[in-house]
Amino acid sequence: MGAVLVLSGPNLQLLGVREPEMYGSETLSSIHDRLTDRGRALGVSIDARQSNHEGELVTWIGSALGACAGILFNPGAYTHTSIALYDALRAVRLPCVEVHLSHPDAREGFRRRSRIAPACIGRVSGFGGDSYLLGLDGLVAFLNRQTTQHEPSRG
Ligand code: DQA
């Protein structure tokens, strides 16, 4: 089926030490390892990256066109501010699942608005590192449905 681009935004390189009561104690590299294993079972390869820079995330989304089947995206705080990331997702028209370790809707008011949500097919939040895994399952199921629907009937 191809590759899934997994992007994590600012401060997520600090997972494991960053507010563990909020984000859990699992590191980002452990989440990436679990995604790679799960991707193998599902038949997709995983290209997982993290950046603290909005422009770099924009560039990676643009480069996914033609290279990836879909995107799993935790934009960190850029979730709530970035029109550039929203525009990038709209531009490539790749199916994107928004993921969060915490459940932003149950936190401060400023976290309740996601700028990227209107450019996503769905969202998983509140399950720590498992949010990424659940998001991958949902994204791959979506991609499988798309493939089946577009395939000519084999009678
Ligand atoms: C987060 C939620 C955001 O509100 C916050 O700014 C983050 C992490 C999460 O995964 O729970 O950096 O995206």
- Would you say the pTM of this structure is higher than 0.85? yes
What is the tens place of the pLDDT at every residue in 64-96?
999 999 999 999 999 999 999 999 999 999 999
What is the tens place of the pLDDT at every residue in 19-62?
999 999 999 999 999 999 999 999 999 999 999 999 999 999 99
CA distance 86 to 78: 10
Residue 151, pLDDT > 80, answer no
Residue nearest to atom 10 of ligand 1 (CA): 100
Examine the residue annotation and report whether 53 is marked as an active-site residue of this protein: no
- If you search the block for the tokens 């770099």, which residue do you land on? 56
Atom of ligand 1 nearest to the CA of 77: 6
Domains and CATH numbers, the chain: 2-148 (3.40.50.9100)
Residue 154, pLDDT > 60, answer no
Query: Which of 79, 105, 115, 124 is the best mutation target for the ligand 1 pocket, counting ligand atoms within 8 Å of the beta carbon and taking the most?
Result: 79
3-state secondary structure of 19: coil
Examine the residue annotation and report whether 23 is marked as an active-site residue of this protein: yes
Residue nearest to atom 2 of ligand 1 (CA): 76
CA distance 118 to 125: 16
Residue 117, pLDDT > 70, answer yes
Mean pLDDT computed over every residue of the chain: 95
